[in-house]
Homo-oligomer: A and B are copies of this chain.
Amino acid sequence: MANLAEVSPKTVSNVVNGYVHVSPVTRKRVQRAIQELDFRPNRSARNLRRGSTGIIGIIVPELPMSYFAELSRQLLMAVEEHGRTLLIEQTLGDRRREEAVIDHLGDRFVDGVVVSPLAPHGRAFAGRADMRFVFIGERPSGCSADYVGIDNVAAAREAVTHLVRGGRRRIAAIGIQPEPCTGTPLLRHTGYRQALAAAGLPVDSRLEKGTARYHLREGAQAMRSLLEEPDAPDAVFCFNDALALGALRTLHERGLRVPDDVAVMGFDDFEAAEFSTPNLSSVASDKAAMARSAVRLLLERIDVPDRPAREILIGHTLRIRESTEGGLS
C-alpha cells in the first residue's frame, strides 16, 4: 500500500478518484507520495471492484478495409468524449474468429460492444443476453437490437438514378451477395433495381455480379467478367469504393475510357475516392455522426439494459466526381 509511505489506506483512494472531502494538507501529502512511488492504481483490481471496465469494444471484419478503419477512428473519438476506452477487435470475416471474439469480450471484459458485421455474419450475438451491443452500418437478419446506419435502399436508388440521368442504359452492379443474404448488399441491390424500374430499364442478370469480398481485387475481377459479356455495360454501380477502384483499373487495362465509355459509381466515399484517376463518384455518409449515435445508444443500453431497441438513420449525400461526370454523347 502506498499509504505506508505517508498516511492512510483509503484516503489515497479518495485522492486518486478526486473526492471532495479531503483536507488540502492530506491531499498534498498523498499526492507527493504518489509522485515519489510512481504509484499507479491497478486497473484489474479497480475493474473487479467497480464491476465495469470503462471499455467499449468494436468488432469489425478487418481494419485494412478503409470503411472499417475510418469507422474505428470515428468511434475512438466518440468513445473518448465519454471518457471511455475503445478496444478494437477484428473477425477477419471468419465465423470461428467472430465467435471467439464475442466470447472473449463477453466475459465482463467490456461494458458494451459496437458491432459492424459482414452481411452474412453477426448471428452469433443472438444468444448473448448478457452482452450490451449496438449494430452499426449492418446488422444480422431478424435481429432486434439497437442499430445505427443509413438508408441503403434510398442511397443506392439515388446513385443509380444519377447514372440514368447521365443517359446510361446498361447499368451493371458489382457486389451482389448470394440469396440467403439480407443485409446491406441486398438493400443496395434493391435500390439498384428500383432505380432501373423507375427508369423503365430492364433487369439483366448478366449485369449483376457477385463478389466473395469487397476488395479491390474482386472489383477488378468482376469488371473483367462484365466485359466478357456480349453486351458491355455503359455504367457500373459498385457496392463499395474498393470494388469501384478495382473496376476502374480493369477498364484502364482494357483501354476503355471513364466516364466516356463506362461510368463508375462507388459507395462509402473513402478518402482515396477523391484522388483516383479519374476520381470516383460515391455515396458519402456522415461516419462521425454514426459513431456518436452508436456510442450514445450503447451507453443508454448499458444504463437501462431492457430499454426497447432503437434504430437511428443517418443522412447520406451523393458526391459526383469525374467517374460519372457528363452524360453519354
Binding site for B on A (CB under 8 A): 38, 40-45, 47-48, 53, 62-64, 66, 69-70, 72-73, 76-77, 85-90, 92, 104, 106-109, 130, 215-217, 220, 245-246, 248-249, 252, 271-272, 274-277, 279
Contact = CB atoms under 8 A, between A and B. Distances in A.
Nearest to A40: B107
Q: Which of A45, A47, A275 has the most CB of B within 10 A?
A: A275
Given A44-B47, A90-B73, A249 B276 contact: yes
Contact of A216 (B73, B104, B271): B271
A279 B88 CA distance: 32
B92 A73 contact: yes
Contacts of A70: 63-64
Contacts of A249: 275-277, 279
Nearest to A50: B44
Contacts of A246: 275
Contacts of A89: 86
Contacts of A130: 38, 40
A66 to B, nearest CB: 7
A106 B216 contact: no
A288 to B, nearest CB: 13
Contact of A62 (B53, B73, B277): B73
Contacts of A107: 40-43
Given A215-B271, A279-B249, A72 B63 contact: yes
| Copies of this protein in the complex | 2
A279 to B, nearest CB: 7
Q: Which of A64, A130, A248 has the most CB of B within 10 A?
A: A64
Nearest to A258: B277
User: 3 shortest A-B CB distances, which residue pairs?
Assistant: A44-B47, A63-B69, A44-B48
Q: Which of A70, A215, A276, A279 has the most CB of B within 10 A?
A: A276
A44 B85 contact: no
A268 B107 CA distance: 38
Nearest to A57: B87
13 contacts: A38-B130, A44-B53, A63-B63, A66-B66, A76-B90, A85-B104, A87-B88, A216-B271, A216-B272, A216-B274, A249-B276, A276-B276, A277-B277
B73 A108 contact: no
A238 B64 CA distance: 21
A45 B49 CA distance: 9
B277 A248 contact: yes
Contacts of A76: 90, 92
Given A42-B107, A43-B108, 9 more contacts: A40-B130, A73-B90, A76-B90, A87-B88, A215-B271, A245-B272, A249-B275, A276-B276, A277-B277
